[in-house]
Amino acid sequence: MMSTKIIRNPKQRKLLFSAGLSWMFDAMDVGIISFIVAALAKEWALGSQEVGVLASSTSIGMVFGAMLAGILADKYGRKNIMLWTLLIFSVASGLSALATGFVVLCLLRFIAGLGLGGELPVASTLVSESMPVEDRGRSVVLLESFWAAGWILSALIAYFVIPDYGWRTAFVIGALPALYALYLRRAIEDPPRYLKQKKARRLSLSERVKSVWSGQHRKTTIMLWVLWFTVVFSYYGMFLWLPTVMLDKGFSLVKSFQYVLIMTLAQLPGYFTAAYFIEKFGRKFVLVTYLIFTGLSAFWFGYAESVNMLLAAGICLSFFNLGAWGGLYAYTPELYPTRIRSTGVGLATSFGRIGGVIAPLLVGVMKENGTAIPAIFIMFFLTILVGAFAVLLLGKETKGIELAD
């Protein structure tokens, strides 16, 4: 991962690294399921629609987890909610190893999704509120870069563990982050900005939701909800199906995992370039540019046939898509004041997660009905462009501006 020494304050570097590791474990869990469904499709003889349901069950949990955690973090603090969400997804992931049937596994993945969906917006809000204005955007993008490390870890587990030791062992590994929560209890604190605001009169839940949709924030909220939906829809539709798509293109299970691992490595430079550009050219530049190139990469991947073309298109897809994710998480908390920040972030994230539910199911139905892979990726190409234009037309630049209290 990129050196955190560019963050000058040692305490802030420790916070970034501590929150980053929890983010890495989140990604590892989400990534592992994409490989496990490819293995389970063979072992349990699952059809494309069933694979889509299993992939979406985590996302359904993430819809509710993001909304609830965002609301609760404004009331009970960023640290407390972050710890609880980490514990929830770790325990549910470990219990998934004991699943004896499709329905039980879907239920456990839903519970894991509650924790996963809750932790991400809370962690990004915590880091954003804890950093000085000149480091804020870069810090959150670097936090997001730990997601790539988690996906790489999940790809390594898939490549070295699943073929020899089975998918249950991969789920057991996914339970280990529960131990990390014990360390986090002492390693992180709520940001001073939140603690100061906490002393003022707290807004009720209805007041916070009304404020998010008030005239002052309505344009921003519409833009964020469109942006989050299109990014999450395209990401989970493409990346959760990536190992299965590689199988469909004629590669073996092990070869498919190997190629996806190579593509996943491109996520890291995607984050690091975004971390550099976000403070140099601004949030809107990073989001619009990286999303447009993500869409073009999706179009290319859909039509690629040879190994070299598939790898090249997949590498570009990973590079630009995850760079855009870094910009998304940096940008969102900056658009709301402290009293409603976590609520606003949580609601936008929650709405976006609906896209993560729909996309894997939709791809499963489309594949079941004989829709060609290129047509599926054209859909993602168009969806991503909608998100890019939403930022271009409705977004406001927040580079160098202090967070509102």
Q: At CA 268, angle to CA 262 and CA 272, rounded to 5?
A: 155
Distance, in Å, from the CA atom of 167 to the CA atom of 158, rounded to the nearest integer, reads 8
Answer whether 350's CB lies under 8 Å from 130's CB: no
pLDDT digits (tens, 9 = 90+) for 310-336: 889 889 998 999 899 888 988 998 898
Provide the mean pLDDT of the chain. Answer: 84
Residue 265 confidence (pLDDT) above 60 = yes
Phi-psi region of 45 (alpha: psi -120 to 50; beta: other; left: phi over 0): left
Mean pLDDT in residue range 219-226: 95
Mean pLDDT in residue range 127-155: 83
Give the model's confidence band at 4: pLDDT under 50 very low, under 70 low, under 90 confident, else very high: very low
**C-alpha distance from residue 272 to each of 137, 326, 374 (Å):** 12, 9, 30
Give the model's confidence band at 199: pLDDT under 50 very low, under 70 low, under 90 confident, else very high: low
Residue labelled with tokens 């092990």: 254
For 341, other C-beta atoms within 10 Å of its C-beta total 30
Rg (CA), the chain: 20
Q: At CA 273, angle to CA 270 and CA 276, rounded to 5?
A: 150
Share of the chain above pLDDT 70, in %: 95
**C-alpha distance from residue 158 to each of 236, 237, 364 (Å):** 18, 19, 22
Q: Which domains can be identified in the chain, with CATH numbers?
A: 12-186+205-394 (1.20.1250.20)
Q: Which residues contact 243 (CB under 8 A, 6 or more apart)?
A: 34, 35, 37, 38, 158, 256, 257, 260
pLDDT digits (tens, 9 = 90+) for 100-117: 888 999 999 999 999 888
What pLDDT score was predicted for residue 292? 97
Select, from the ranges 173-182, 183-192, 206-215, the one with the highest average predicted confidence (pLDDT): 206-215
The answer, as to whether pTM is greater than 0.85, is no
For 252, other C-beta atoms within 10 Å of its C-beta total 11
What pLDDT score was predicted for residue 405? 64
Share of the chain above pLDDT 90, in %: 22
Nearest to 384 by CA among 281, 295, 254, 275: 295
* CA-based end-to-end distance of the chain: 32
What pLDDT score was predicted for residue 52? 76
Residue 389 confidence (pLDDT) above 90 = yes
Mean pLDDT in residue range 169-195: 80
What pLDDT score was predicted for residue 6? 57
pLDDT digits (tens, 9 = 90+) for 67-86: 888 888 888 888 888 889 88
Q: Which residues contact 317 (CB under 8 A, 6 or more apart)?
A: 238, 263, 294, 297, 298, 301
* More confident: 224 or 204: 224
pLDDT digits (tens, 9 = 90+) for 19-66: 888 888 888 888 888 778 877 887 888 887 787 788 778 888 988 988
Distance, in Å, from the CA atom of 68 to the CA atom of 401, rounded to the nearest integer, reads 28
Answer whether 353's CB lies under 8 Å from 59's CB: yes
What pLDDT score was predicted for residue 2? 45
pLDDT digits (tens, 9 = 90+) for 331-352: 998 898 888 888 888 899 889 9
Give the model's confidence band at 1: pLDDT under 50 very low, under 70 low, under 90 confident, else very high: very low
pLDDT digits (tens, 9 = 90+) for 268-289: 888 889 888 988 899 899 999 9
The 8-class DSSP code of residue 101 comes to S
Distance, in Å, from the CA atom of 203 to the CA atom of 125, rounded to the nearest integer, reads 18
HSE-up (13 A, CA, CB side) for residue 220: 22
DSSP 171-227: HHHTTTHHHHHHHHHHH----HHHHHHHTSPPPPHHHHHHHHTSTTTHHHHHHHHHH
What pLDDT score was predicted for residue 3? 45
Nearest to 350 by CA among 113, 65, 115: 65
